[in-house]
Structure 1
Amino acid sequence: MTEKPNFWVGFACALAGALLWGFSGACIQFLAENYLIQSSFISFVRAATAAVLFLGFMLAARRESLLSLAHSKRAWSSLLLFGVGLYLSQITYAISVALTNAGTATVLQATCTVFVMLFTCLKLRRWPRPLDLLGLVCAMGAATLIATQGDWGVMVLPVAGLAWGIANALSETLYIMAPQRLYLHWDRFTVISCGMVISGVLAALVWACGGLWGDVPRVPAMDGFGWAALVLGVGVMGTFAAFGLFLYGVSVVGSVHGSLLGVAEPVGAMVIAAVWLHTAFSTADWTGLVLMAAMIVLVSISGARGEKASDKAPDKVQ
């Protein structure tokens, strides 16, 4: 008889995964501030490192599941879209961090929860629930506070930083929604492993072909600490370990608890950036973080109630 996983172990794993995502944001900010490094190169190393580790794990532990997905022609359209979304989320996040900071970029990224909710409502042809609308108001308030710092007539946050932050949220929405059908037939580890490989290949191509649009590819001159921050901090801990721990944790505690624990990502990014990189955050920034966390909680609770209502509803007669 298989022993049921401990809830608190799952809780700790999901929390650790979310915090490691926040840590990777601080590492990206450190690299952007201290080395002449391209966002495309960060994304390439990050995606390639995670792809190699995920692929190695899958070949060693879940080879049959991996081969099953790889040989499914029907799955490839969703898988390609997922891989593109993964890459876009990584490159837009790196650019957003470089233009703002890890905390601000991660808080803006969290608006993807609202986009997922809105696209889901459009797909199901229903109006947002009251808690969804309240969450939307919180998200809009958070983004406005961070962008204006409370002075409603002035845009303090760089326009480009805000634009790339929203682009990052939209790309996160793509990679969250694209593989939903795949999860019905394959486990998330398998799907994400294949998606990460596609993302790694795409990241390599974009970096190598950067000269076509004026971003000539180059390997930055970095010391050992810089390479450790990039490969270990961003690639291994901030991507491979973060995804692995969070996915395992969510599989134990459930998607609702997992979504709520995801609040730790922007909190972690802001705290680590403040302590390690001495990034100054204003009262408006911290208030925006609280509002964004409230948005995630509200939308998660609303989603949980919707799932319970649908479970109680009678099945449709075909």
Structure 2
Amino acid sequence: MGTTRKGMLNVLIAAILWGSSGVCAQYIMENSQMQSPFLTMIRLLSGGFILLTFSFLHGDGIFRILKNRKDILSLLLFSLVGAMTVQLTFLMAIEKSNAATATVLQFLSPTIIVAWFALVRKARPGAFVCAAIGTSLIGTFLLVTHGDPTSLSISGAALFWGIASAFAAAFYTTYPSALIARYGTLPIVGWSMLLGGAMLLPFYAGDGAQVVITRQFAAGIPSTWW
């Protein structure tokens, strides 16, 4: 399989897994009274630990970045504005609406990226890209308004967090390219998730005591799927 096809396959799998994670997050929050910030913290800490463990076993040298002060600062910025913010805003959008709406709104991020490159780097998008952007914007408009521009079919909070998630995803996608080129994908993503989760610990670590595991949640029967 060529590099291009492998990249397209990875994008497809990533989109499916990300969308599925939204459905799982909605189910957890609805059936355990778990709030989105606490769930974000758990996702980041556990995901970061798993990725760094895989990276360490793979021999990627996960501690190399800690020897470069400039890169550490870039990693901290990426952890805060990228990994933590994209996860938190996404789950907040789910909490205020549902997984499908949050995912559609967040996937406006390619449009934001294209617009950024067009304005800053003078990279003019092709006709196919422009058509894809136009289609995504029309679809989002119909989702948010149901065709009536005078009213919203979702709450203002859901729209805010969904758009914020799209901007965070755009930053998350574009910012760490230099870091990934130096240290690899797994170490950078793993550290950003672990550090992002650690940034939430002082504020939401105590929320675990408020989590209520319902009988339906324990049985693993997602009522929202039926």
Regarding TM over 0.5, the answer is: yes
Q: Is the 8 A contact 1:115 1:170 kept in 2?
A: yes
Match of 1:122 among 119, 134, 155: 119
Alignment match, 1:179:
176
Q: What per-residue deviation string (whole Å, max 9, x for no partner) do you get for residues 211-250 of structure 1?
A: xxxxx66440215874797xxxxxxxxxxxxxxxxxxxxx
Q: What is the match of residue 277 of structure 1? A: 224
Aligned ranges for residues 51-200 of structure 1 at < 5 Å?
51-64=48-61, 66-84=62-80, 85-200=82-197
Deviates more, 1:103-112 or 1:118-127: 118-127
State whether structure 2 residue 16 is matched by structure 1 residue 19: yes
Identity score, percent: 24
Asked if the contact 1:83/1:198 (under 8 Å) is kept, the reply is yes
- Provide the residue aligned with 1:220 in structure 2: 211
Q: Against the structure 1 CA distance between its residues 151 and 11, is the aligned structure 2 distance closer, same or farther, given a 3 Å change threshold?
A: closer
Shift of 1:96: 0.5
Distance 1:224 1:190, change over 3 A: farther
- Tell me, in whole angstroms, the C-alpha distance in 1 between the residues paired with 2:97 and 2:199: 25
- Contact 1:40/1:206 (CA < 8 Å) preserved in 2? no
Gaps of 5+ in 1: 210-215, 230-272, 280-318
Q: How many aligned positions are there? A: 224
* Structure of larger gyration radius: 1
Q: Provide the C-alpha distance between the structure 2 equivalents of 1:192 and 1:177, rounded to a whole number of angstroms.
A: 13
Q: State the 1:7 CA deviation.
A: 9.1
Cα-Cα RMSD: 3.0
Q: TM-score, normalised by structure 1?
A: 0.62
- Tell me if structure 1 keeps the 8 A contact 2:32–2:214: no
CA contact (8 A) 2:144 2:152 kept: yes
Distance 1:131 1:73 in 2: 42
Shift in Å at residue 162 of structure 1?
0.9
Q: Please report how far the alpha carbon of residue 33 of structure 1 lies from its aligned counterpart in structure 2 after TM superposition.
A: 2.3
How far apart are residue 205 of structure 1 and its match?
Answer: 3.0
Aligned with 2:211: secondary structure? Answer: coil
Q: Distance in 1 between matches of 2:136 and 2:2?
A: 34
CA contact (8 A) 1:116 1:173 kept: yes
Give the Cα–Cα distance (whole angstroms) in 1 for the partners of residues 143 and 187 of structure 2: 37
Code of the residue aligned with 1:72 in structure 2: it is: N
The whole-number CA distance in structure 2 between the counterparts of 1:42 and 1:227 is 17
